[in-house]
Amino acid sequence: MDFQPPERSKREAMQKSECHRDVQLRNRVTDNCDQRTSSSAQIKHRTIVQQRKSSSSTSSPESARKLHPRPSDKLNPKTVNPFGEQSRAPSAFAAIYSKGGVPCRLVHGSVKHRLQWECPPEKLPFDPLLITLAEGLRETKHPYTFVSKEGFRELLLVTGALEKAVPLLPRLIPVLKAALVHLDDEVFERGLNALVQLSVVVGPSLNDHLKHLLTSLSRRLRDKKFKEPITTALQKLEQHGGSGSLIIIKSKIPTYCSIYC
């Protein structure tokens, strides 16, 4: 039996220990690689499954319509979704219009839009339709802006509009005032035009209510871009309201010059 010096035995033992540690380290590295490869494969599988589900759900005609709505859907009251993102808190007019409460629909042409009434406007009751349309003047989204503005104008053109509109003035004036004090310039312009249209129909009957509207007009006169349209509107109010309207206008807007001066 050969004799091995103690030092040689120690070196061999250390070498064996190091070899054992190397083998363990390689095994751990291999295990980690296997785990990462497995996790990567699982993630890739889940991604492919999700993509297949997404493509199958968006391939249906109904899903395609939701993703790419037709322009005409915005114009048809039956397709206006009151729970959609664009109208989560619908106004009173939007809610009524969406339910078909306004008896007309928007017909859009290549040049301009028009309204098509379900029956001749002269056969429609002004109460509450005229007030509802006046409420819609404060809308800022299509198609409500056009329907309210054009519907209000066309309703006042029918035969017998004077007799139907005058009893509604106490309820109409606060609604028109709300449009005239609105911060949106286009809403104000629609309210101003509606006021003139109403004046043409009811004439001096509007004088008792003018004082409630002139304050907002006086404030807007400070804006140069509204000076001309407001002055023109005041002239129309005087023209159709007679001498009594001039006194009321001058009391609220002293700088106004009569059309008869």
List the single range of 72-81, 143-152, 229-238, 249-258 with lowest mean pLDDT.
Answer: 72-81
Residue 166 in any domain: the answer is yes
Q: Residue 181 CA to chain centroid, in angstroms?
A: 19
Phi-psi region of 26 (alpha: psi -120 to 50; beta: other; left: phi over 0): alpha
φ, ψ for residue 160, nearest 5 deg: 85, 15
Please tell me the total count of domains within the chain: 1
Domain span at 101: 91-252
Residues 182, 190: contact at Cβ < 8 Å? no
pLDDT digits 0-9 by tens, 60-72 = 555 555 555 554 4
* Rounded-to-integer distance, Cα 34 and Cα 29, Å: 9
Residue 213 in any domain: the answer is yes
Residue 76 tokens read as 């048809």
For residue 169, give the CATH number of its domain: 1.25.40
* Rounded-to-integer distance, Cα 219 and Cα 213, Å: 11
Residue 43 in any domain: the answer is no
pLDDT digits 0-9 by tens, 148-163 = 999 999 999 999 999 9
Residue 66 in any domain: the answer is no
Residue 99 in any domain: the answer is yes
Residue 49 in any domain: the answer is no
Residue 58 in any domain: the answer is no
Residue 189 tokens read as 């312009």
- Model-level pTM greater than 0.85? no
Residue 137 in any domain: the answer is yes
